[in-house]
């Protein structure tokens, strides 16, 4: 179990990204294991530094998956409450206010027993960094996807795809060269009526644009260049 006092002691120096980096090392060192942990991907920015620190601590306490689930639950609570999300970064919050917010977050998310997330939120509160929580959750999700060997595929369509269509697309792409050996495909379907029809597939840093809007744009450009 991580010591909250140890986390706060190392976190008080976070006044710049360089200071936050040293925080990360101290945070990870608070675990009982002395084994060095290398994150699966390098993240940048303060949110990336905090996410990496939590990942390191979770690995050292052999509680990576439980910590990931707990943090995701907290992230869901914040995502569903825009007022809470804006309140997190309010500069006028007192120490008591931040402590109350952390306690309520843990309670609503039902993760009060997760020591890693509990101490981590307390660290963010102590450093006036609760406003970073949504982006830290996003960055931590990136770390977890990389650790699980997942390749994210975002399929954008004008209307939501049914499970059967999405499944067939996932099967086809899984067998292609876009997904490396031993990797798992993580599929998300987003809706954007502006593409009119067809679909846009994004896999990692690759984009396959098969949308009607793209075809119309190319046709219009061709006509403009010709005329």
Least confident span in 73-77, 106-110, 188-192, 200-204: 200-204
- 30, 47, 71, 137 from 5: Cα distances, Å: 10, 21, 20, 23
Rounded to an integer, the average pLDDT of 59-69 is: 91
In this model, does residue 96 exceed pLDDT 70? yes
| pLDDT range class, residue 133, cuts 50, 70, 90 | very high
Which residue is listed with tokens 């179990």? 1
- Return the pLDDT at 196: 85
Listed in sequence order, the residues at least 6 apart from 217 whose beta carbon sits closer than 8 Å to its beta carbon are none
Q: Helix (H, G, I), strand (E, B), or coil: what is residue 94?
A: coil
Domain limits, the chain: 4-146, 149-226
Q: Which of 99, 31, 110 is nearest to 77 (CA)?
A: 110
- Return the pLDDT at 147: 86
DSSP 37: -
In this model, does residue 71 exceed pLDDT 50? yes
Which residue is listed with tokens 């939501």? 160
Q: Render pLDDT for 141-167 as a digit per residue (tens, 0 to 9).
A: 989 988 888 778 888 988 898 888 888
Under CATH, which architecture does the 4-146 domain have? Orthogonal Bundle (1.10)
In this model, does residue 134 exceed pLDDT 80? yes
Least confident span in 2-11, 52-61, 85-94, 108-117: 2-11
Cβ atoms within 10 A of the Cβ of 116, count? 25
| pLDDT range class, residue 52, cuts 50, 70, 90 | very high
pTM: 0.63
């Amino acid at each position: 179990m991580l010591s909250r006092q140890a986390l706060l002691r190392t976190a008080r120096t976070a006044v710049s990204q360089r200071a936050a980096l040293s925080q990360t090392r101290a945070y990870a060192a608070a675990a009982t294991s002395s084994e060095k942990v290398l994150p699966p991907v390098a993240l940048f920015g303060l949110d990336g530094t905090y996410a990496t620190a939590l990942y390191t601590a979770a690995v050292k306490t052999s509680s990576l998956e439980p910590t990931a689930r707990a943090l995701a639950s907290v992230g869901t609570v914040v995502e569903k409450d825009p007022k809470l999300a804006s309140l997190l970064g309010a500069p006028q919050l007192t120490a008591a206010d931040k402590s109350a917010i952390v306690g309520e977050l843990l309670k609503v998310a039902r993760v009060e027993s997760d020591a890693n997330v509990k101490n981590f939120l307390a660290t963010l509160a102590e450093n006036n960094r609760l406003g970073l929580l949504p982006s830290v959750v996003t960055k931590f999700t990136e770390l977890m996807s990389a650790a699980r060997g997942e390749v994210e595929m975002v399929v954008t369509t004008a209307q939501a795809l049914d499970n059967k269509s999405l499944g067939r697309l996932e099967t086809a792409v899984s067998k292609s060269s876009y997904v490396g050996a031993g990797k798992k495909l993580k599929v998300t379907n987003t809706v954007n009526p502006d593409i009119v029809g067809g679909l846009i597939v994004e896999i990692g840093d690759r984009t396959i644009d098969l949308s009607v809007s793209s075809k119309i744009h190319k046709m219009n450009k061709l006509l403009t260049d010709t005329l």
